[in-house]
Amino acid sequence: MRHNLFRTAGVLAAAVVVLAGCGEAGSSGTEAPPSAAAGAGAGCAPVAGDKLVVLTDDKKLQNTDNVIPAINKKASSPELVAALDKVSAALDTAKLVELNKAVDIDRKSSKAAAQDFATANKLTDGLAKGKGGNVTVGAANFSENATLGELYGIVLTAAGYTVKVQQIGNRELYEPALEKGDLTVVPEYAATLATFLSGKVDKNAADPSSSDLDATVTNLKALGDKRGLVFGQPSQAQDQNAFAVTTTFAEKYALTTLSDLASKCSGAATVLGGPAECPQRPKCQQGLVTTYNFQAGKFDTLDAGGPLTKNGLKTGTISVGLVFSSDGALAAG
């Protein structure tokens, strides 16, 4: 199964993980707050369809949750980092979507999907041999991260290390193990990890994550230095909150961006779907209102990027829904 973290970096305490299942399943029929609906137009009624598309976050509401290797500083070496950076260089969001599709929809194992990707992208070609030794790659307990962990294992093996890939659980479990050196490297997400580490270093500090990747990574490196961590290059692959519609909905209303959604679809007929906490979250409905002035007519309580939300989109019970940007269901074709 895909992970079901509802990312809201910058507003939650760093160690808190909000699970998608925090609301009751099914439609709540909750009306949007009066302040959000005031002055809205007719809106855009849901349109059923089999294919989903993410609307571009053109005003950068979401933070930069780019995949990045997080490495125990004492175990790091130039050869190890170079091997991991080769994975980062090959990854973008579209390729991550395809990797997730291979595992979550086509039912390949994470190891098989990673090997196919490594072969297709020649990830093991030309890698410098490191000093060798044992390396433990940690991975969180959801399929995307497990697949990324297998990719790290493939390149590190090619670089001469003896590698074990170990799926561990959530960040509260694997991050301390990474600091301690029980793990060598973990595939991480820049904005979320920066916020998590900030909570360990100084809970009163300003949020270190932002919609600017360079700023997020700069802050992440500074925080990592205080916890014995270093980082490889961030990839262009992002797994973060996103808002999807059916392709038929996008074509009917001529939408490609969230600005399009706000300008053309604010109003009573528009139904937003997501987890129960979405209306209060600055990266969900609250953010759509403040950043885009998007005014949904109704909010339906479903889940965070899970089967309820995707089914609501495909069957035409919601107009737009919260998903994750790397979900395999977003694969073209």
Domain check: are 54 and 87 in the same one?
no
Domain check: are 71 and 206 in the same one?
yes
Residue type, 269: A
Task: Give the pLDDT of residue 115.
Answer: 98
| Chosen domain end from 231, 265, 294 | 231
Q: Which residues of 237-276 are buried (b: 16+ CB within 10 A; e: fewer)?
A: bbbbbbbbbbebbbeebebeebbbbbeebbbbbbbbbbbb
Span 41-74, pLDDT tens digits? 899 999 999 999 999 999 999 999 999 999 999 9
Compute the average pLDDT of residues 139-144: 96
Span 8-22, pLDDT tens digits? 333 333 333 332 333
Nearest to 198 by CA among 214, 215, 180, 221: 221
| Chosen domain end from 231, 254, 288 | 231
Domain check: are 212 and 132 in the same one?
yes
The enclosing H or E element of 39 equals: none
Domain check: are 257 and 314 in the same one?
yes
Domain check: are 256 and 150 in the same one?
no
Q: Are strands 296-301 and 229-231 parallel, antiparallel or unpaired?
A: unpaired
Span 288-303, pLDDT tens digits? 999 999 999 999 999 9
Tell me how far apart the alpha carbons of residues 141 and 181 are, in angstroms, rounded to a whole number.
Answer: 19
> Are 294 and 17 within 8 A, CB to CB?
no
Domain-embedded: residue 10? no
Full domain range(s) for residue 39:
20-61+241-330
Q: What rounded mean pLDDT belongs to the chain?
A: 90
CA–chain centroid gap for 94, Å, is 13
pTM attached to this predicted model: 0.87
Domain check: are 111 and 226 in the same one?
yes
